[in-house]
């Protein structure tokens, strides 16, 4: 514990330290006399407080010239001082609430119903009042940027940037930073922070083992975006290695990598978590749809200005169709509330429509809603697809944004099927868990009603209210994707023409999209030979540019500095995947032919590419014995002699693809036949055809 904190043992001393730090934050250039006057204490007591705060590392002392040319001192709060100010502010407000509650009880005979910040489990009911943010003042931010330049730095991942933004702007209130080990354990076990506050989702800063070994609790680190811009300072209080299998079981319901968040947890996230309070310096920069991005306090101010008392929020990560419009109309009408369309534009499920396309779709149909009672704002959230827990999490986030009602869907934030082909969550598990905590959260649930089109009445109605004998029309998400992929008609009763137009613009029929064919197999299996034959056949057909990314060619031109360790092999395949994703995104055909021995890396490449087009995995399933017989380069012989280390199939494992789009056995089969099998597969998938 820092010396100043040791001395500030009474509430009065803590209040004085809080007011001192706040005053230095608000007026860093003020004279000591002015600071003492603002605090209502003598100069002598102020100097004692400043010395103690400086010794504790809460305040930085610098020399400056005074108006009379004598040497003066300037005092500014450090990042640790800003974190301490945030902690003391909660204690200060907690005591003031308690004093108010006691006075209220004395005068009226009843309590006020307000709870101190540190002990509340029910959020405050006034959705118009500002909520705490973690940003320091502009002046302090400029000084902290200079200070942070000398701190160890962690470059945030896209998911961590989303989390940090919502931490800093109050979207994750009451969190003050990334979870400590005690808070993390409470959230994983029972959805509660250590102080009992309801919070269902672990918000953690995962880092590499190497970086974790270079820092210690009690140390500050700078958090930077991927361009190197300093966004915040983290004062590390905890460094711990989580039980990820337990986290997966408790938070996501199963330790199954078919769940995208569990796969991320095991195969993408770092092995060590850092916890501690965050001091916000600046928000992440967004160049897209800036007028649509609102912080919680900006939305609260907007609702206050318009006099909106009841607001129902609609969560979506998909384009809006006519059924969604009818659903939101009904929800707002039933609640007699205004409507906030609040789509997620952070990270969603791999394979989802990109947020640029989705926002254009939302804007295309926004004029179908009454402007006086509807607004739209974008939420920079990194979804976890955690079903029931995610629904509660979404509710708390919307409560922080000033919302009073929240639509919870059937299988809300469900990731689809598990490894056994069954849904991860029951269809109404999310609604049940939300309902269980609804009163404590202070936000009401509006159950999602499955809307279907009744042909006889030419309108959408709730599926559970329709009598027998009428004709019900519906198009599933899978059917919609099929119609888009094959360029088939999408009827006006299902969606809006402007939405369909946007979707077709981004996702043209498959025969006009870019795609990647990814060969994998042992060295000598015939991957490169078949890939070359396929390239020639596709070039003969014409229509789209074709690029071959053969393993040996890439090693020579793109990854010449890499060795053959697992880390370097992964990096080589990720580079191939990145180039292939760019080719696919721009409408070309990428043919990749590396060994790619690890299933986890192949899955990551698939997810990157499927954001832009099809990924066709072809397992060239030639046996290791046959590959060793062919051994034109003598590599297997050298591997058997121990002269080549970490050789796939001999001294290093190969993860056989479980569900490739195509499996080829080249034993006794000529190359032309194998290439023809790939072409037939591409044709059956609609990727090539008469117009290709």
Residue 117: band (very low, low, confident or very high) from pLDDT cuts 50, 70, 90? very low
SS3 343: strand
> Residue 216's pLDDT is what?
94
d(CA 4, CA 50): 10
d(CA 578, CA 607): 11
Mean pLDDT to the nearest integer, 53-80: 72
Query: What is the tens place of the pLDDT at every residue in 648-687?
Result: 888 888 999 999 999 998 888 899 999 999 999 999 998 9
Task: Identify the residue with better confidence: 681 or 557.
Answer: 681
Mean pLDDT to the nearest integer, 228-237: 94
pLDDT at 640 over 90: no
Residue 70: band (very low, low, confident or very high) from pLDDT cuts 50, 70, 90? low
> Residue 465's pLDDT is what?
85
User: In this predicted structure, which of 80-89, 179-188, 357-366, 494-503 has the lowest mean pLDDT?
Assistant: 80-89
> Residue 8's pLDDT is what?
53
> Residue 114's pLDDT is what?
55
Sequence-ordered alpha helix ranges (H) in 270-321 = 296-306
526 has binding-site annotation: yes
> Residue 1's pLDDT is what?
39
> Residue 416's pLDDT is what?
87
SS3 526: coil
Task: Identify the residue with better confidence: 55 or 70.
Answer: 55
Q: How many Cα atoms within 13 Å fall on the side-chain side of residue 541? A: 21
Buried b (16+ CB within 10 A) or exposed e, 58-83: bbbeeeeeeeeeeeeeebbbbbbbbb
> Residue 64's pLDDT is what?
60
pLDDT at 559 over 70: yes
What share of the chain has pLDDT > 90, as a percent? 54
> Residue 4's pLDDT is what?
42
Cis ω before 174 (30° cut-off from 0): yes
Query: What is the tens place of the pLDDT at every residue in 472-484?
Result: 998 888 888 888 8
Mean pLDDT to the nearest integer, 324-332: 90
Query: What is the tens place of the pLDDT at every residue in 371-406?
Result: 899 999 999 999 999 999 999 999 999 999 999 999
> Residue 123's pLDDT is what?
43
525 has binding-site annotation: yes
Mean pLDDT to the nearest integer, 627-650: 83
Residues forming the active site: 316-318
What share of the chain has pLDDT > 70, as a percent? 95
Residue 201: band (very low, low, confident or very high) from pLDDT cuts 50, 70, 90? very high
> Residue 492's pLDDT is what?
92
527 has binding-site annotation: yes
487 has binding-site annotation: no
Compute the 3-state secondary structure of the chain and give helix, strand, coil in percent, each to the nearest 5. Answer: 45, 15, 40
253 has binding-site annotation: no
d(CA 225, CA 286): 12
Mean pLDDT of the chain: 88
Mean pLDDT to the nearest integer, 571-584: 93
> Residue 254's pLDDT is what?
95
pLDDT at 360 over 80: yes
pLDDT at 224 over 60: yes
> Residue 66's pLDDT is what?
56
SS3 61: strand
Closest by CA to 53, choosing from 93, 26, 23, is 23
Q: What are phi and psi of 465, to 5 degrees?
A: -110, 5
> Residue 99's pLDDT is what?
76
Residue 169: band (very low, low, confident or very high) from pLDDT cuts 50, 70, 90? very high
523 has binding-site annotation: yes
Residue 176: band (very low, low, confident or very high) from pLDDT cuts 50, 70, 90? very high
Buried b (16+ CB within 10 A) or exposed e, 374-413: bbbbbbbbbbbbbbbbbbbbbbbbbbbbbbbbbbbbebbb
d(CA 523, CA 595): 6
pLDDT at 243 over 60: yes
172 has binding-site annotation: no
Number of residues that make up the chain: 692
pLDDT at 116 over 60: no
pLDDT at 613 over 50: yes
Element (H, E) at 21: helix 11-26
């Amino acid at each position: 514990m820092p010396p100043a904190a040791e001395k500030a043992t009474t509430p009065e001393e803590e209040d004085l330290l809080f007011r001192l730090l706040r005053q230095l934050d608000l007026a860093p250039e003020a004279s000591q006399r002015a600071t003492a006057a603002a605090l209502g204490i003598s100069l002598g007591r102020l100097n004692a407080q400043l010395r103690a705060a400086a010794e504790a590392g809460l305040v930085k002392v610098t020399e400056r010239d005074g108006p009379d040319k004598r040497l003066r001192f300037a005092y500014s709060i450090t990042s640790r001082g800003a974190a301490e100010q945030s902690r003391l502010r909660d204690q200060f407000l907690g005591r003031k609430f308690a004093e108010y509650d006691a006075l209220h009880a004395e005068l009226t005979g009843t309590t006020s119903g307000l709870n101190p910040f540190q002990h509340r489990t029910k959020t405050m009911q006034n959705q118009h009042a500002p909520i705490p943010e973690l940003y320091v003042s502009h002046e302090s931010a400029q000084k902290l940027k200079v200070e942070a330049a000398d701190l160890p730095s962690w470059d945030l991942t896209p998911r961590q940037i989303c989390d940090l933004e919502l931490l800093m702007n109050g979207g994750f209130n009451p969190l003050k930073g990334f979870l400590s080990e005690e808070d993390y354990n409470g959230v994983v076990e029972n959805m509660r922070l250590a102080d009992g506050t309801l919070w269902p989702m672990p918000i953690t800063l995962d880092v590499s083992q190497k970086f974790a070994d270079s820092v210690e609790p009690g140390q500050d680190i700078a958090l930077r975006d991927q361009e190197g811009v300093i966004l915040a300072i983290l004062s590390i209080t905890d460094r711990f290695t989580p039980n990820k299998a337990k986290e997966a079981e408790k938070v996501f319901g199963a330790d199954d990598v078919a769940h995208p968040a569990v796969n991320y947890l095991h195969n993408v996230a770092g092995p060590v978590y850092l916890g501690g309070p965050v001091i916000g310096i600046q928000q992440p920069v967004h160049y897209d749809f800036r007028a649509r991005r609102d912080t919680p306090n900006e939305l609260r101010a907007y609702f206050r200005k318009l006099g909106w008392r009841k607001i129902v929020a609609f969560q979506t990560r998909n384009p809006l169709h006519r059924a969604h419009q009818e659903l939101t109309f009904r929800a707002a009408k039933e609640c007699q509330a205004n409507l906030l369309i609040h789509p997620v534009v952070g990270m969603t499920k791999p394979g989802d429509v990109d947020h640029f396309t989705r926002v254009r779709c939302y804007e295309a149909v926004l004029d179908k809603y009454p402007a006086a009672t509807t607004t739209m704002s974008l939420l920079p959230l990194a979804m976890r697809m955690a079903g029931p827990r995610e629904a509660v999490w979404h509710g708390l986030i919307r409560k922080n944004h000033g919302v009073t009602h929240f639509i919870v869907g059937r299988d809300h934030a469900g990731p689809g099927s598990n490894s056994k082909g069954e849904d991860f969550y029951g269809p109404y598990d999310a609604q049940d868990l939300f309902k269980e905590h609804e009163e404590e959260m202070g936000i009401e649930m509006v159950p999602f009603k499955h809307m279907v089109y009744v042909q006889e009445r030419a309108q959408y109605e709730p599926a559970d209210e329709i009598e027998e004998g009428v004709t019900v029309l519906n198009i599933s998400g899978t059917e919609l994707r099929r119609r888009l992929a094959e360029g088939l008609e999408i009827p006006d009763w299902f969606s809006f023409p402007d939405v369909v137009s946007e979707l077709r613009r981004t996702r043209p029929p498959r025969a006009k999209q870019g795609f990647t064919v990814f060969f994998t197999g042992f060295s000598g299996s015939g991957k490169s030979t078949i890939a070359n034959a396929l390239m020639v056949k596709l070039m003969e057909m014409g229509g789209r540019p074709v690029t071959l990314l053969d393993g040996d060619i890439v090693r020579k031109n793109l990854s010449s500095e890499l060795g053959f360790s697992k880390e370097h092999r992964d990096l080589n395949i990720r580079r191939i995947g990145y180039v292939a994703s760019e080719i696919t995104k721009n409408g070309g055909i990428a043919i990749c032919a590396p060994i790619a021995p690890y299933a986890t890396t192949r899955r990551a490449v698939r997810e990157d590419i499927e954001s832009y087009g099809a990924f066709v995995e072809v397992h060239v399933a030639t046996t290791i014995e046959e590959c060793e017989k062919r051994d034109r380069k003598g590599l297997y012989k050298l591997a058997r002699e121990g002269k080549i280390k970490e050789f796939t199939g001999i001294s290093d494992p190969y993860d056989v693809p479980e569900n490739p789009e195509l499996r080829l056995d080249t034993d006794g089969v000529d190359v032309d036949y194998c290439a023809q099998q790939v072409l037939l597969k591409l044709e059956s998938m609609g990727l090539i055809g008469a117009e290709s």
